Amino acid sequence: MNSDEQSQAAIRAFFDAMNAQDADAAAGLVNDDVTVEIGPHRLSGRSAVRELALQTDDQLAFETALVELETETETGIDVRARRTQRWRSTGEIAAEEELRASFTFDDGGAISRIVLA
C-alpha cells in the first residue's frame, strides 16, 4: 500500500472508530500531538481524540460517513462527509449535514491535524 492509500485507509478507519466510539482505535490513528479543530474550538493530544470518540448524547446518536476524498496535497487530504443524527428513541433522522474535513499526516503516516468545518 502506498502512502496515499495508507492515508485514505487511515481516514476511513478514523471515521469508523469514531462512529463505533472506539476511543483506542481512534487514538491509535493519530500522533501524540494531534490537533483537532472543530469550528472555533481547538483540541490537542490523543486524550482529546479519546474524549471525542466517547462523547454521547442522551437523545441523539451520531454517525459520520465519508462521502468523497476531494483533494490530496503533499501533507494531507481534504474530504467531504455526511453526519447523520438520529433520535435514539425512534431511530428517525433528526438532522443530516454535509461536513468538510481536512486531515494532515506526519512523516510516519499518523494523523497530525484534523480540521472539521
Pick the CATH number of 3-116 from 3.30.750.24, 3.10.20.30, 3.10.450.50, 3.40.50.720: 3.10.450.50
pLDDT per position as a tens digit, 37-94 = 999 999 999 999 999 999 999 999 999 999 999 888 877 899 999 999 999 999 999 9
Q: Where are the beta strands (DSSP E) in 9-105?
A: 30-38, 41-44, 60-72, 76-87, 93-105
Which residues are CB-neighbours of 41 under 8 A, at least 6 positions away? none
Which residues are CB-neighbours of 9 under 8 A, at least 6 positions away? 1
Helix axes 3-19, 46-54, angle to 10 degrees: 50
Written as nine digits, the cell of 31 is 500522533
43 burial level (CB within 10 Å; 0-12, 13-18, 19+): middle
- Can you give the residue ranges of every domain in the chain? 3-116
pLDDT per position as a tens digit, 3-21 = 778 899 999 999 999 999 9
pLDDT per position as a tens digit, 98-114 = 999 999 999 999 999 99
